[in-house]
């Protein structure tokens, strides 16, 4: 009788663990959906902001990556940093180059490789737009206190999925 009782208790504990796990799994799923929704709404607001400044998110991202590089990047390195294909990067660079914001130069070591860098006009435009972009982001998240930011940064650092799967090339 005792072994039957122990078995029932053991099964009850296993069922309770599954129920807790299911609940935790559902909470994690809701967290993912909330993070995705916040990201999408924020990106939408920033796209509108950039559109009002006659820019786009891809243009801004390319200018930001080149600004952070503080010099030339190969097209491949730029694509890697942006986590997009070379073809997507080329399309954006073509437009930025025609607007006089970036300059492409062939590599002296290998003519198949193109380097790209901000022009003086590109650096000026990015610096101005980046300051306004920062103010826009600050406004979007104005209800988040310094203590909230510290807690969120710590939590997000612990759950960054790319740390678990070994993704590389993110400038975060």
> How far is it, in rounded angstroms, from Cα 68 to Cα 144?
26
Query: Which range marks the domain in which residue 135 is found?
Result: 55-143
Q: Are residues 64 and 118 in the same domain?
A: yes
> How far is it, in rounded angstroms, from Cα 25 to Cα 21?
6
Question: What is the reported pTM?
Answer: 0.75
What are φ and ψ of residue 34, in 5° steps? -65, -45
Q: Are residues 107 and 40 in the same domain?
A: no
In terms of Cα–Cα distance, which of 127, 61, 119 is closest to 91?
61
Q: What is the CA radius of gyration of the chain?
A: 24
Q: Are residues 60 and 118 in the same domain?
A: yes
Q: Are residues 92 and 45 in the same domain?
A: no
Q: Give per-residue pLDDT as tens, 12-60.
A: 666 566 566 678 999 999 999 999 999 999 999 999 999 999 999 999 9
Q: Give per-residue pLDDT as tens, 111-141.
A: 889 999 999 999 999 999 999 999 999 999 9
Q: Are residues 63 and 136 in the same domain?
A: yes
The CATH code of the domain that includes 117 is: 1.10.10.10
Count up the domains in the chain and report the number.
2
Position 21 scores a pLDDT of: 67
């Amino acid at each position: 009788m005792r072994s039957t009782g122990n078995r029932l208790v053991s099964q009850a504990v296993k069922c309770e663990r599954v129920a807790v796990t299911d609940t935790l799994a559902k909470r994690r799923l809701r967290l993912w959906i909330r993070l995705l929704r916040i990201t999408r709404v924020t990106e939408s607001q920033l796209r509108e902001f950039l559109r009002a400044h006659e820019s786009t998110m891809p243009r801004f991202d390319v200018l930001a990556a080149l600004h952070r590089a503080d010099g030339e990047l190969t097209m491949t390195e730029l694509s890697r940093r942006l986590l997009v294909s070379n073809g997507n990067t080329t399309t954006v660079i073509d437009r930025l180059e025609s607007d006089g914001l970036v300059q492409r130069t062939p590599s002296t070591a290998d003519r198949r490789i193109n380097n790209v860098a901000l022009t003086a006009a590109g650096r000026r435009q990015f610096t101005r737009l980046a300051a306004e972009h920062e103010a826009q982001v600050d406004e979007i998240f104005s209800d988040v206190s310094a203590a909230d930011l510290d807690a969120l940064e710590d939590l997000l650092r612990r759950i960054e999925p790319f740390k678990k799967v070994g993704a590389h090339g993110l400038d975060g």
